[in-house]
Each structure stands twice: as structure tokens, then as C-alpha cells.
């Protein structure tokens, strides 16, 4: 079944099916929810169902074999218009809606939607990155939203609903999408990543950290980042050398590359991995070994006395020290400095525990 490939949004499918049976489809929707949870795939599948020549709209199904289905899957259906940020642009600019300056109003999404459908009985627009619309492009698009063509269905994909102009929001019906359950993210990771297949245990750990977003989980698969995480875990569970670790983490973050924001983001992920490590150890000590399995954290926890409240407190203090660094990194303190001080502090804290 066509919808089987979409995880975690079954209720939304049923909701659209009921809406279609009652003939109540709106002309514009905002699909709102975190990045990387399948909103765009949902919109494309919805479009495929509405275009499929073998199923009625009310069925909300697609055969995958008719010419319309094939065109949607190949990205070549003449009545499906997908737009997003242009290459190298951080905003969704006016060109996308009104065409390039030399061809204003004769190209772009607003022009496409003003024309009659070619093959189907409607035109469907999917606007990705809608949260990145600037005021100029939003105002340009507003006219199309205010005077909708009867044949047009518009879906805006937004990871930040607050960033959309109220005038745009108020003219669309909002459909909220929830983060995916960790189990689904883990299964998708194993299915998706053909070159860097994580084992199911690791996939579960990454999924847990991803906040229900496949996009985030996929970022966490970066080989450089995983190598640094493993180095961190190895040090925490073995002979801790703060100088070696700080050097390894800082040069590793730089080696993964990207701009300052990306590097700060990767540093934050490393701290989150550390938090997961101590959280797992603490749960293990308090005899609630639920959640993710981190073998290094389990062996770390075995060094302590599960019946001792002091030992539990000690592991929690390590967790808190990590959390403090996360806070520092988020408030723009120099990343290499944060990492150095963290490693020094952890070294000092861990020394007596290794007696
Ligand atoms: Zn079909």
C-alpha cells in the first residue's frame, strides 16, 4: 500500500481521507512540524493519490503504475509544482514565486498556478522551506492565496510555524505533524543507510537522540562524528586522559568541517552523546536499564556500587557537568575552550573514582 512507506502519520492519512469523502478539501494547507519527519513525503504521496488514474480521490490511494503515478514518482508530473529555496539561498526568495527579474510574472509558482491543469483536474503546489519565506516573497505569494484558483491545491511545508507571516497562516489550514517515535526512526535508519549501516543497537541510540527526526538522525551518522563519539566513550569508560581527549575532540570537530555554526552544532552533539552516556550509566545503577544501550556506559556503571546513593550521586554530578557545557556551547562560548575545560574537570572528577 502506498501509505505504508510513511511512518507515524496514520491519523493524518485517515483525516485527509475523511475530508476528501466529504468533499471538503481546502485550497491551502500548512504541514507543520519538526524537520525530517516526513512532511514532504506525505505531501508528495497525497499528490500522487489525488492524481492517480486508477483510484478515486475519496479512496486516497495510488496504484504506482498508471502514467500519472509514474510521473509523480519521476518528478515530472506537469500539474505538480514543487518549489523550495534556490541553491545557495538561505531564504525562499521572490524569484520562486514571480520568476526571475527579467521574466517577472511570466514564470514562477504564481504563474504556474494561474494556468489550467494540463493532465489532471487540478494543480498541486508543494512549497518546501516555507518558514524561510521573506516578507517580499510572502507578500508576492499572498495574492495567489487570497484569490485561489478553483483548480489549485497548495501545501506549505514549515518546520517553524511562528516564522510564517500571520497573513499567510490565516489563509491556510494547519495540519500538525508529530515527531516520529524513536522505534520508527531506528528502523528507517537501518533501512535507509546502505553504506554506513549502523547495527540496530547503534541505530536505536541515534534515534533516541534525534528527537523523532530522521533528518537529525541521518546527520548523526556522519563518520567523523561517530568516531569522536566512540573516542569519548572509550575514554570515559577506560583510562581518562583529559589532554588527549580534548585534543582529539577539538581537532576532530575542525576536521569534520563546516562553518562556525556547523562546528558548534557538532560540538553540541558530542556533549549530547556524553549526556546519553552518563544517563545510561545512572539508569543502570538505579536498576532501570531502559532506553538506549551503550555498552561502554554499562561497563562504566559496573565500576560503581549499585546500592550506594553516593555512587549514584557521583554519576549524576558527571551528567550535570556535561549539561553545563551544553549550556555554555549554546550561549556562544568558544567551543575549543569549552571542550578543554570540560575534559579537565571530568579528569579531576574521575580520578578519585578510579582508586
Ligand atoms: Zn496510479
Residue 248 — very low, low, confident or very high, per pLDDT cuts 50/70/90?
very high
CA 4 / ligand 1 centre spacing (Å): 16
| CA–CA separation, 323 and 337 (whole Å) | 16
Mapped onto helix, strand or coil, the DSSP state of residue 106 is coil
CA–CA distances in Å: residue 257 to residues 105, 171, 268, 310, 342: 40, 41, 14, 41, 22
CA 182 / ligand 1 centre spacing (Å): 32
What are the tens digits of pLDDT across the range 29-73? 999 999 899 999 999 999 999 999 999 999 999 999 999 999 999
CA 279 / ligand 1 centre spacing (Å): 49
Which pLDDT does position 192 carry in this prediction?
77
CA 15 / ligand 1 centre spacing (Å): 21
CA 46 / ligand 1 centre spacing (Å): 12
CB neighbour class for 106 (10 Å; exposed up to 12, middle 13-18, buried from 19): exposed
CA 325 / ligand 1 centre spacing (Å): 53
Whether the predicted pLDDT of 292 surpasses 70: no
Helix or strand (DSSP H, E) at 196: none
Whether the predicted pLDDT of 353 surpasses 60: no
CA–CA distances in Å: residue 156 to residues 195, 294, 340: 32, 39, 44
Mapped onto helix, strand or coil, the DSSP state of residue 37 is coil
CA 63 / ligand 1 centre spacing (Å): 4
Which pLDDT does position 55 carry in this prediction?
97
The rounded mean pLDDT for the chain is: 91
CA 155 / ligand 1 centre spacing (Å): 21
| CA–CA separation, 210 and 216 (whole Å) | 5
Most confident region among 171-180, 194-203, 209-218 by mean pLDDT: 171-180
| CA–CA separation, 337 and 144 (whole Å) | 51
Which pLDDT does position 209 carry in this prediction?
86
CB 137 within 8 A of CB 96: yes
Whether the predicted pLDDT of 218 surpasses 80: yes
CB 311 within 8 A of CB 305: yes
| CA–CA separation, 242 and 236 (whole Å) | 10
**C-alpha dihedral (274, 280, 284, 288), degrees to nearest 10:** 150
Average pLDDT (241-269) is 93
Helix axes 67-74, 39-51, angle to 10 degrees: 160
Mapped onto helix, strand or coil, the DSSP state of residue 73 is helix
Average pLDDT (295-302) is 90
Helix axes 182-192, 200-209, angle to 10 degrees: 130
Amino acid at each position: 500500500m502506498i501509505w505504508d512507506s510513511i511512518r507515524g502519520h496514520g491519523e493524518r492519512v485517515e483525516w485527509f481521507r475523511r475530508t476528501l469523502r466529504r468533499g471538503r478539501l481546502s485550497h491551502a494547507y500548512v504541514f507543520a512540524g519538526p524537520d525530517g519527519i516526513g512532511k514532504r513525503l506525505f505531501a508528495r504521496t497525497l499528490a500522487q493519490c489525488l492524481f492517480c488514474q486508477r483510484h478515486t480521490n475519496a479512496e486516497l490511494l495510488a496504484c504506482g503504475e498508471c502514467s500519472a503515478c509514474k510521473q509523480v514518482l519521476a518528478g515530472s508530473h506537469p500539474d505538480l509544482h514543487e518549489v523550495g529555496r534556490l541553491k545557495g539561498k538561505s531564504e525562499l526568495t521572490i524569484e520562486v514565486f514571480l520568476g526571475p527579474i527579467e521574466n517577472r510574472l511570466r514564470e514562477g509558482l504564481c504563474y504556474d498556478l494561474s494556468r489550467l491543469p494540463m493532465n489532471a483536474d487540478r494543480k498541486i503546489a508543494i512549497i518546501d522551506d516555507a518558514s524561510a519565506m521573506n516578507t517580499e516573497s510572502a507578500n508576492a505569494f499572498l495574492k495567489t492565496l487570497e484569490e485561489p484558483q478553483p483548480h489549485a491545491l497548495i501545501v506549505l511545508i514549515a518546520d517553524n510555524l511562528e516564522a510564517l507571516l500571520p497573513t499567510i497562516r490565516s489563509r491556510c489550514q494547519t495540519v500538525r505533524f508529530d515527531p516520529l517515535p524513536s522505534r520508527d526512526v531506528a528502523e528507517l535508519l537501518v533501512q535507509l543507510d546502505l553504506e554506513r549501516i549502523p547495527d540496530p543497537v547503534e541505530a536505536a541510540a541515534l534515534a533516541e537522540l534525534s528527537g523523532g527526526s530522521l533528518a537529525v538522525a541521518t546527520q548523526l551518522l556522519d563518520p567523523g562524528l561517530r568516531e569522536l563519539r566512540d573516542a569519548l566513550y572509550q575514554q570515559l569508560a577506560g583510562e581518562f586522559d583529559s589532554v588527549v581527549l580534548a585534543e582529539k575532540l577539538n581537532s576532530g570537530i575542525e576536521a569534520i568541517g563546516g562553518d562556525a555554526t556547523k562546528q558548534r552544532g557538532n560540538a553540541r552533539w558530542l556533549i549530547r552523546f556524553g549526556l546519553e552516556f552518563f544517563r545510561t550509566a545512572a539508569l543502570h545503577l538505579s536498576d532501570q536499564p531502559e532506553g538506549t544501550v551503550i555498552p561502554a556506559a554499562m561497563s562504566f556503571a559496573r565500576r560503581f556500587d549499585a546500592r550506594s546513593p553516593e555512587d549514584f550521586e557521583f554519576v549524576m554530578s558527571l551528567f550535570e557537568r556535561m549539561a553545563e557545557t551544553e549550556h555554555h556551547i549554546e550561549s556562544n562560548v568558544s567551543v575549543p575552550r569549552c571542550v578543554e575545560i570540560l575534559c579537565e574537570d571530568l579528569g579531576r572528577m574521575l580520578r578519585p573514582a578510579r582508586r
